[in-house]
Amino acid sequence: MNPSTPLYLDDLQPGQRFASPASFTLDEASIKSFAARFDPQPFHLDDAAAQASIFAGLSASGWHTAAITMRLLVTGGLPFASGLIGLGGEIAWPRPTRPGDTLRVESEILDVRPSRSKPHQGIVTVKNTTLNQHGEPVQVFTSKILVFRRPASAATL
C-alpha cells in the first residue's frame, strides 16, 4: 500500500509494494498521434495494415506504453520524495496495448543499495509491472532509480 508521505532512501526495503492510485485509458487517436510522432510504423498508424500485421489489430507503440507507465509512476505510483531519476533498466513488452485499454502499474522494491562514495544517496531497483484492465501485463520494467536520503533538516519530523 502507498504511504501517506513520500519516501526517502532510509524508508525503502526489498519487498515493499506500491500501486498507482490512478489509471490511464488509451484511445485510438492518441495511439495514432504518438506513433505519427515517434514510431511511424503502419501497424501503429493504419487499421488495415494493423489488421494484416502480426498484431492482428491496432496497437500502441511500446514507447507510448512506457511513457504512460512513467506518468502513472510519477503521479503517485512510486512515491519517492526525491523524484524518479531513472538510470536505466530492463524493459519487456509481453503483449500489445490496444485502443480502450486501461493501464495501471504495480511496483515492488527488489533491492536497496546505498552508495559507498556518496552517503546521501543510493540506487533502488524497482520492478514496475504495467497491467491492462484484464490484469494482463503489457510491460515489465525493472528500473534502477537514484534515490536520496532524508535531509538532516527533515530527520526529526
- Residues of this chain that bind a second copy (CB under 8 A): 34, 37-43, 54, 61-63, 66-68, 70-71, 74-75, 83-93, 140, 146
Kindly state the smallest distance separating residue 11's Cβ from a second copy, in Å: 19
> Whose Cβ is closer to a second copy: residue 18's or residue 93's?
93
C-alpha cell at 147: 534515490
Kindly state the smallest distance separating residue 74's Cβ from a second copy, in Å: 6
> Whose Cβ is closer to a second copy: residue 12's or residue 84's?
84
Kindly state the smallest distance separating residue 156's Cβ from a second copy, in Å: 24
Contact predicate 104/130, CB 8 Å: yes
> Whose Cβ is closer to a second copy: residue 67's or residue 154's?
67
> Whose Cβ is closer to a second copy: residue 16's or residue 148's?
148
Contact predicate 32/47, CB 8 Å: no
Cα–Cα nearest to 79, from 109, 40, 122: 109
Give 30-98 as a 3 state SS string: HHHHHHHHHCCCHHHHCHHHHHHCCCCCCCCCHHHHHHHHHHHHHHHHCCECCCCEEEEEEEECCCCCC
Contact predicate 30/79, CB 8 Å: no
Kindly state the smallest distance separating residue 10's Cβ from a second copy, in Å: 18
Kindly state the smallest distance separating residue 88's Cβ from a second copy, in Å: 3
In angstroms, rounded to a whole number, what is the distance separating the alpha carbons of residues 69 and 81?
A: 18
> Whose Cβ is closer to a second copy: residue 71's or residue 150's?
71
In angstroms, rounded to a whole number, what is the distance separating the alpha carbons of residues 143 and 123?
A: 10
